[in-house]
Amino acid sequence: METQNDNRQTSVLRSLDWWTVGIYIALLIFGWISVCGASYTYGETDIFSLSTRSGMQIVWIGTSLTLGFILLMLDDRFYDTFAYVIYAVLLLLLFLTIFNPHEIKGSRSWIVLGPLRLQPAEFAKFATALAVAKLMSTYGFDMHKPKCFFAAMAIVLLPMLFIVGQRETGSALVYLAFFLMFYREGMPGSILFTGVAMVIYFVVGIKYEQVFLWDTPTSMGKFVVLLLVQLFASSMVYIYARNREQALRLLGICLGVTLLVLLFSEFVIPFDIVWVQLAISAVLIGFLVYEGLSTRIMHYLFIGLFSVGSIIFFYSADYVLNNVMEPHQRVRINVLLGLDDDLAGAGYNVHQSEIAIGSGGLRGKGFLNGTQTKLKFVPEQDTDFIFCTVGEEEGFLGSAGVLLLFLALILRLIYLSERQPFKFGRVYGYSVASIFLFHVFINVGMVLSLTPVIGIPLPFFSYGGSSLWGFTLLLFIFLRIDAGRNLVRT
């Protein structure tokens, strides 16, 4: 049975959040201007021709607006009712795409239908968001229950595995954004911290692996990573086991022994103190396991497991990087970490995009006046690297304006998510906000050489129908769910 409040007669369009729609349209307009600037070549007379990228982008924008309107006209219960069906259909499509005979730039992620090319991975994001929202809104779901948490993770990881099978690692990594939503819905912060710690281990350990500590044969990267493991473990004893004195004692012993061994290696007999660090870590882990078993406080065992996992992760990551990864993948990581410039190879795209952005100055060179982009120095400048066009033609002010628009969109999505009367809408809204945040952060970061070049589009800016339709689906489904928030179901 359904009842409504005083706004019962309010239509969907009147209850729609027009602020978000306005931001969406503004991003579409600025996105088209950027595609036009990135794809324009000297001598073109008609930027609206369908034979040009800018002309085709108008078609994608028009179809996206039509798609958005259709999504708004559907009953908001449709998305809840058929969430699992939509997810299953997209999963099947992702699986079949793995065996797709059409390979584009080394990836099998595209379905070619005559002149039309579609990328199912772009549409799987909204389907995954619907499915995980459906699961987490069911009666009895509790993020703190391992069974519930792993079920939610399975929904997210399945499309990731299929997309990796399509050789499209960048698109697969986008699904890590769902962990931000998990954290909002009660996932322990320790899991999020573990992910951040792994990134720190990898970056510090690999970047400084060949740098030696003072005059000793000790790798600074390995030394710092093992020291961080000990520091993190000691801190977690204080935070989770709530034993301040024990945490300080463990920290003092680890730092004291490390300092003594370091001084001995520096001034007496030089040797690789990483082995001593490993021994200290082993003793620390043994103590944590003993405390956990003797006191029956499970936090000690989890901290010990974290320490073991940290060490295994670092050494396995180092092995994978140097012995498993393909040379071109290894070069990309080395370029990102500053270990190799390779301006003629893996670092070429980023280097040219930095030149383009820097040449824009404060106010930019003006529409269609960018030299780096017009002379096609930046590869993929109208897709993955389109933000460099914004920087060159619109300058710092234009780039800042675009980033502020994205910030406004994400903050608005968070606001809308918090006002949802049902968990389904809140979970879906936070999933959408997390995906947009991940795309913007990684895409802009890789153009500025701050994040890995993983080839994901900038929402509403990068050329192409699949990404534009995918982001429109994500956004307008949530807008329709939000527009029906005044409907009270009993």
The model's pLDDT over 287-323, given as tens digits with 9 standing for 90+, comes to: 999 999 998 888 999 999 999 999 999 989 878 877 7
With cut-offs at 50, 70 and 90, classify the pLDDT of residue 4: very low
Q: What are phi and psi of 271, to 5 degrees?
A: -155, 165
Q: Report yes or no: 435 and 448 within 8 Å, Cβ to Cβ.
A: no
Q: Give the long-range contacts of residues 136-141, CB within 8 A, separation 24 or more.
A: 136/185, 136/423, 136/424, 136/427, 137/80, 137/422, 137/423, 137/424, 137/427
Taking residues 214-227, report their average pLDDT: 89
With cut-offs at 50, 70 and 90, classify the pLDDT of residue 266: confident
Q: Which of 164-168, 370-374, 408-412 has the lowest mean pLDDT?
A: 370-374
Nearest residue to 462 (alpha-carbon basis) of 404, 366, 388, 400: 388
Nearest residue to 447 (alpha-carbon basis) of 340, 339, 372, 368: 372
What pLDDT, in 10s, does the model give residues 163-220? Answer: 988 878 788 889 999 999 999 998 988 888 888 899 899 888 888 888 888 878 889 9
Name the DSSP class of 174: G
Strand stretches in 43-181, DSSP E: 111-113, 116-118
Euclidean distance between CA atoms 377 and 40, whole angstroms: 13
Q: Output the CA–CA distances (angstroms, integers) from residue 117 to 95, 104, 264, 326, in the order listed.
A: 17, 10, 64, 28
pTM score, whole prediction: 0.85
Average pLDDT of the chain to the nearest whole number: 86
Name the DSSP class of 101: S
